[in-house]
Amino acid sequence: MSLANKLAEERRARLAAERLLEQKQAELHAANRKLGKHALALSEEIVETRAEVQTVRDENERVKSDLTVANEKIQIAERRLWHSIETIQDGFAFFDIDSRMIAANKAWLAVFDGLEDVKPGVSYIEILQLVTEEGIIDIGDMPPAAWREKMLDRWQSPSPEAEVIRLWNGEYIKLIDQRGHGGDVVSLALNITDTVRYEKKLNDARRAAEAASKAKSSFLANMSHEIRTPMNGIVGMAELLIDTSLNEEQRLFADTIKSSGEALLVIINDVLDYSKIEAGKLELHEEPFDLERCIHELVTLMQVNTRDKGLDLLVDYDIFLPGRFIGDPGRLRQVLTNLIGNAVKFTEEGHVIVRATGVPSDDMRQTELHITIEDTGIGIPPDKAQHIFGEFNQVDDERNRKFEGTGLGLAISERLIRMMGGHIWVESEEGNGAVFGFSVTLPTAESVDPSSLHVPEGLKTALIVEDQPANRTILERQLGALGIRTQSVQSGAEALATLPGEVDLVVTDHIMPQMDGMELAEAMREAGHQMPVILLSPSPTTAEQDPARRHVQAVLGRPTPRADLFAALDRLKDRFTAPRAPAVEPPPPPEPAGARAMRVLAADDNKTNRLVFSKMVKALDIELEFATNGIEAVALYESFDPDLVFMDISMPEMDGKEATRRIREIEARSGRHVPVVAMTAHAMGGDKEDILSAGLDHYLTKPLSKSAISGQVAAAQPAGTRPPLPEDQAAS
C-alpha cells in the first residue's frame, strides 16, 4: 500500500475517530444538562420541604402558646367562679355520682360549725349521720334514724323536692338539690331565716287584722242589735200614735218620727250589709224559692208608692220561664228591691216594668236568668253609668238633693250579683228613662210543667180591655203564647161595640177612665153577653166588695202571677164548652157557731216591746198572754195552751231558743206542733239558721210591723177558732 493510501486511510480513521469523539462529547453534554436540571429541581424541592417544616414548626409553637393562654384563662375563670361561689351568702356544694362531696363553699360548710370530717370526699350519708349526732339540725320529735331515712330518700329521688330545715340556733335553711346528667348533684342551701321571720310577722299581722275585723263585725252585729231594739220602740210607738186621734200637726209629727225611724233602719241595714261584704263576711244561703212569687210580692209592696204617684208598676214574667230556682232569695229580693225602688223613686210618670226571661241550659238543669227593670224616669247621663255602681256614688248632688238615699244600694247590689256569679248593667239616656238589668245562672228547682200551661178546650179567642199600652202588650203576649187569639181595645165602650164577635173570654183592667172593668161587666150582662169576664185589679179587695162583683167570674191581682191566671182559666173551663150561664160566686161557708178566739203567747223581756206588741194586735180577735222570760214562756205554754207563740230571742234567765227547745221536748210527748215565731233584733248572716235550727218555725226582725204580726196570726189560725183578723185586714 502506498503511502498516500496509508495517509488517506489514516486521515479517514482520524476523521471517524474525531466524529465519534464529537458525538460522545454531545451525548455527555446532554447528560450533563439533564443532570443539572434534576439537581436544580431537587434543590427546589429541598427548599420547599424545608419551608413546610418551618411552617409546621411555627404552627406547633402557636398552638402551644394558645394552649397556655387557654389554660390560663380556664384557671382564671375557675378562680373567679369559685371566688363568686365563695362570695355568695348561700351554701353551694356538689357531689359525684356516688354521693361523695366534690367541693363546697364556706357558707355550705359553715352550717357544720367547723366539723373537720365534712370536707371533699365525705359521703352524703356520713353528713346526715354527723348532723344528727352533733345536734346541728333541729329535727323536732322525729327519731334521728327516721329523719335520716327521710332525707336520704329525698336525696336519691330523681328530682328532690325543696326541703326546709331548722338549725340548732333557730335559723332556717332551704335545701335545693339538683341532679345533673352524669349523676352529679348540685346542692344549694339558702338561708331563709329572714323570710321565715317576715312570713311569721305577716301571719301574726294577718291574724291580728282578722281578729280586728271579727271584732268589727261583732261590733256591727251588736250595734245593729242595740240600735234596732230602741228603734223598735220608736217606730212601733209612732205607728200606734198614728192610730190614735191626733190633730193635723201631731199626725205630721208622728208620721215624721215613723218614716225617719224607718229610713234610719234602711241606712243602718245598708251600712251593715256593705261592711259585711267588704269584710268578706257575707254568705249566700241557697235554698229553693219561687222567683215569680218573690217579684210579685215586692211589686205588691211597692204599689203603695206607685199608686200615690200615678205610676204603673208592671210585671212581665215569661210564661215559659220556670218559677222556682235555687238561690239566695233574701239577697235576690234585696237587689230587686233596690232596683225597683230606684226605678220608682226616679220616675214621676209613666211606668216601671219588671221583666223576667231566661235561657235554659242544654240539660235544663240551670237557667240563665235575665231580669230587667225598665222605667220612664229621669234617666242617667252616659258618663255616670258606671260611677253610680261605686259606693256612696250618686249621679250628682244637685239632682239627688230631692231624692233620699245613701248611694249604697247599687254598690251592694253589684257586689251581691257578682257573688252570685252574675253581672249587673244599666242602659239609659238622660231624660229618657233607664233600664237596669242583671243576669245570674241559677239551678232550676222546678221546671215548667207543660200540662199546667194547658188552656181549656173551648177557649180560642179573648178580648183584652186595657187602656195602658204596656199592660196591653204584656197580656197580648202572655195569652198569645198560650195559643189564644187576642183582640185588644182601650176602653169599656170600645169593648161593648166589639161584642159579641167571636169572643170566648173578656180580660179587663179594673181601673179605666169613663167606664171601669166592673161597670163594663155589668153593661155586658145587661146587653146579654154571657162570656166569662176576668178582671185584673191592682186592689182586688176593693173589687171583691163591688156590688157588680157577681158579673165577673174571676178577680185577679195585678200584676198577675201566672199560676193565678191558669187557676182562673181552669176554674172557668166548663164555661167555655158548656152553654154559658150567668155566674154567681158561691157564698163563703158560714163560720162554725161557738168557735173560740185564738190563743197567742208572746214572750219579751222588754216592757216597751210588750206594750208595742199589745197595741199592734189590739184590733185582732185573739186572747193574748205575755211572758217576760223563757222560763215563764215554757210554763205558760203548758198552762195557757197557745195556738201560736211569738218568742223574743235575747231574754234573761232563759233565752228564746232554749225556751223553744223545751217546748219542742214537751210536744214530742204529745205529738203537737205549735208554731213559734222568733222576734229578734239580730240581723247578721247565720242568725236566721241558728234560730230556726233551735226549733222555731218563722222569723220576724225588729222593728215589728203590724202587718207582719197579723200575717203570722192569720196563717196560724187552727180549725175551730174565730178568724183573728178583722174583715178589712183579712181581705188585704
Chain residues that interact with ligand ADP, rule: CB under 6 A: 338, 342-343, 346, 375, 377-380, 388, 394-395, 400, 405-411, 434
Pick the closer one to ligand ADP by CB: 409 or 724.
Answer: 409
Which CA distances in Å does 62 have to 52, 57, 68, 75, 174?
15, 9, 10, 20, 49
Give the residue among 726, 716, 660 at the shortest CA–CA distance from 692: 660
Rounded to 10 deg, the angle between the 706-715 and 607-616 helix axes is: 70
Contact criterion met (CB below 8 Å) for 175 and 128: no
Pick the closer one to ligand ADP by CB: 409 or 557.
Answer: 409
Q: Is the peptide bond before 703 cis (omega within 30 degrees of 0)?
A: yes
Pick the closer one to ligand ADP by CB: 342 or 488.
Answer: 342
- The least distance separating ligand ADP from the CB of residue 424, rounded to whole angstroms, comes to 11
Minimal CB distance residue for ligand ADP: 405
Neighbours of 342 (CB within 10 A): 23
Bridge partners, 701 (sequence order): 680
Pick the closer one to ligand ADP by CB: 382 or 480.
Answer: 382
Pick the closer one to ligand ADP by CB: 341 or 540.
Answer: 341
3-state secondary structure of 728: helix
- The least distance separating ligand ADP from the CB of residue 221, rounded to whole angstroms, comes to 23
Task: Supply the DSSP string of 356-405, one letter for each residue.
Answer: EEEEE-TTSSEEEEEEEEEE-SS---GGGTTGGGSTT--S-HHHHTTS--
Pick the closer one to ligand ADP by CB: 227 or 267.
Answer: 267
- The least distance separating ligand ADP from the CB of residue 357, rounded to whole angstroms, comes to 20
Q: Which residues contact 283 (CB under 8 A, 6 or more apart)?
A: 685, 686
Which CA distances in Å does 601 have to 232, 639, 651, 663, 669?
19, 11, 15, 12, 21
What cell numbers appear for 665 in the block?
A: 221536748
Pick the closer one to ligand ADP by CB: 327 or 379.
Answer: 379
Question: Among positive and negative, which fits the CA dihedral 413, 418, 422, 426?
Answer: positive
- The least distance separating ligand ADP from the CB of residue 299, rounded to whole angstroms, comes to 15
- The least distance separating ligand ADP from the CB of residue 382, rounded to whole angstroms, comes to 12
Pick the closer one to ligand ADP by CB: 122 or 344.
Answer: 344
Which CA distances in Å does 406 have to 24, 195, 273, 334, 388?
140, 45, 13, 15, 11
Pick the closer one to ligand ADP by CB: 356 or 408.
Answer: 408
- The least distance separating ligand ADP from the CB of residue 344, rounded to whole angstroms, comes to 8
Pick the closer one to ligand ADP by CB: 177 or 312.
Answer: 312
Bridge partners, 233 (sequence order): none
In the chain, the N- to C-terminal Cα span, in Å, equals: 191
**Spatial separation of the C-alpha atoms in residues 105 and 82, rounded to whole Å:** 8
- The least distance separating ligand ADP from the CB of residue 431, rounded to whole angstroms, comes to 10
Neighbours of 259 (CB within 10 A): 13
What cell numbers appear for 729 in the block?
A: 185586714
- The least distance separating ligand ADP from the CB of residue 297, rounded to whole angstroms, comes to 20
Task: Supply the DSSP string of 654-677, one letter for each residue.
Answer: S-HHHHHHHHHHHHHHHT----EE
**Spatial separation of the C-alpha atoms in residues 416 and 422, rounded to whole Å:** 9
Pick the closer one to ligand ADP by CB: 250 or 260.
Answer: 260
